Amino acid sequence: MQMANIKTLAEFIAERQHEFTYATGELSQLLTSFRLAGKMVNREVNKAGLAEDIIGAQGTENVQGEQQQKLDVYANDLFIRLLRSQGMVCAVASEENDDIVHFDNGGKYVVTMDPLDGSSNIDVNVS
């Protein structure tokens, strides 16, 4: 059985963006921001319980009434900071926020997200 070629997100974006004549590159840049945030969250998950106090309950609830985990809050804050800094996103709706987060930056994208689904499994080492 032959293994399929695995492409990174960056390779996929670079290969496909030429297909969209009127593309400005903003969506590609936005997707790259998600990639960076994902890598940063992954780094924290990998060292959870070793060096920093990033696992366990935060002591707050999300909009679903679920107990927020510290990693949930970390990932949410990280994604929002990165999305705000790119200037392409005008608003973010997240499971971790009661209200939509608006950026007064002229961005044209709205992002809806659950930045770290399944974080309650981190404490028991389930993935």
With respect to residue 24, please indicate whether it lies within any of the assigned structural domains: yes
Alpha-carbon distances of 35 from 13, 39, 99, 106, 123, rounded to whole Å: 11, 6, 24, 23, 24
Spans of the chain, pLDDT less than 70: 1-3, 48-52, 119-127
Q: What CATH number did the domain enclosing 113 receive? A: 3.30.540.10
With respect to residue 83, please indicate whether it lies within any of the assigned structural domains: yes
With respect to residue 124, please indicate whether it lies within any of the assigned structural domains: no
The fraction of the chain above a pLDDT of 90, given in percent, is 28
The fraction of the chain above a pLDDT of 70, given in percent, is 86
How high is the pLDDT of residue 86?
A: 87
With respect to residue 30, please indicate whether it lies within any of the assigned structural domains: yes
How high is the pLDDT of residue 77?
A: 94
Name, in order, each residue with C-beta under 8 angstroms of 101's C-beta and a sequence gap of 6 or more. Answer: 80, 91, 92, 93, 94
Buried residues in 19-37 as b, exposed as e (16+ CB within 10 A): eeeeeeeeebebebbbeeb
With respect to residue 113, please indicate whether it lies within any of the assigned structural domains: yes
Name, in order, each residue with C-beta under 8 angstroms of 46's C-beta and a sequence gap of 6 or more. Answer: none
Structure-block tokens of residue 77: 């804050």
Number of domains the chain is built from: 1
CA distance linking residue 34 with residue 47, whole number of Å: 20
With respect to residue 96, please indicate whether it lies within any of the assigned structural domains: yes
Containing domain of residue 15, as a range? 9-119
Give pTM, 2 decimals. 0.77
Cβ count near 7 (within 10 Å): 11
With respect to residue 2, please indicate whether it lies within any of the assigned structural domains: no
